[in-house]
Chains A and B, each alone.
Chain A
Amino acid sequence: MKFGVVVFPGSNCDYDAYHVLKNVISQETVFLWHKDRDLQNVDCLVLPGGFSYGDYLRSGAIARFSPIMSEVKKFAATGGLIIGICNGFQILLEAGLLPGAMLRNKNLKFLCQHVWVKIENNQTAFSNSGQMGQVLKIPIAHFDGNYYAPPRVLAELEKNKQIVFRYCNENGNLTEEANVNGSANHIAGLINREGNILGMMPHPERASEKILGSEDGKVIFNSIINYLEKKAVISPLPSLIETF
């Protein structure tokens, strides 16, 4: 399978993602510059973490206007798989490819630490190699990760099982302290209604090798490969009545 890592000015997790996909997961991987218009026939796009355009205005707000984003939108519309990690998630939100927005962390601190997230839906292209309720140890590193969506949208996300990961403690309990950034409904990662786009604040690419303290991030990358190789059968999301 072929992965494309999109590089924006200010991306800083692009090489980490590239390294894991190429050397740990052993997949063909290419970098795609934000000015590129050719996605080189990749099977999955990765929007990596970092501080695209210095986080000016709002995190992800300027990157969304990069030339490659119109191609990313076309790719999304045809069902292409996209994973946005951290700043990549923020860009997907600003681009309207995922619902909601990010607010500053509730404690107003930049958080850089390992957290635990629980798999809430393992019937997705991004989580099928994990178990329901499985607790993953993956680090976060962000200032604006406090997920917000209006109550009506949150209810839709819950109903449609679009929430893939929630912040929890080591034992999988959804305690208030475990929800470090204050995200609505403990949301750490979610998919769009069609299920082909995932945004997540934790960094799976920083938790895919034992030497880094956790290999749990591989669950996400292995799931994508399972899905692309059609080894995983994903039941479709519940039918949708209302649109965002």
Chain B
Amino acid sequence: MKVRIIVRFKDTVLDPQGQAVRNALHTLGYTSVKDVRQGKFFEIELNKIDPGQAEKIVQEMADKVLANPIIEKYNWEIIEA
């Protein structure tokens, strides 16, 4: 089983790297870009387990290690059963 976890800053936290990317895009002429938020992406391969158990451990891993809950939020999905 494969899961994909996306970690990003909470909306209330400034993302200066995202802003720098936005400015670079503007410089390149992509003036329709309104805002950029950047984050991290993890692809985790798990041994075959049922989806309920996967949910439990993925959330646990994200809360404990992959994201810092003070500044970040995450979402995840199963990409390969």
Contacts and interface: CB of A to CB of B under 8 A. Distances in A.
B65 interface: yes
A58 interface: yes
B39 interface: no
B13 interface: yes
A241 interface: no
Interface stretch (A15-23, A99-107, A115-123, A220-228): A99-107
B81 interface: no
B45 to A, nearest CB: 18
A61 B68 contact: yes
Given A103-B14, A148-B13, A57 B20 contact: no
Nearest to B9: A103
Given A103-B13, A104-B16, A106-B16, A148 B65 contact: no
A126 to B, nearest CB: 23
A181 to B, nearest CB: 11
Contact of A148 (B20, B66, B71): B71
A101 B16 contact: no
A63 B44 CA distance: 21
Contact of A94 (B12, B13, B16, B68): B68
Given A106-B16, A108-B20, A61 B70 contact: no
Contacts, number: 30
Interface string B33-73: 00000000000000000000000000000000110101100
A58 B17 CA distance: 14
A150 interface: yes
A148 B69 CA distance: 12
A74 B11 CA distance: 35
A108 B65 contact: no
Contacts of A42: none
Nearest to B66: A57
B15 to A, nearest CB: 8
A144 to B, nearest CB: 11
Given A61-B65, A148-B71, A150-B12, 13 more contacts: A57-B65, A57-B66, A65-B65, A94-B68, A101-B68, A101-B70, A101-B71, A104-B16, A104-B17, A105-B16, A106-B16, A148-B13, A150-B70
Interface of A: 57-58, 61, 65, 94, 100-101, 103-108, 148-150, 182
Interface of B: 12-14, 16-17, 20, 65-66, 68, 70-71
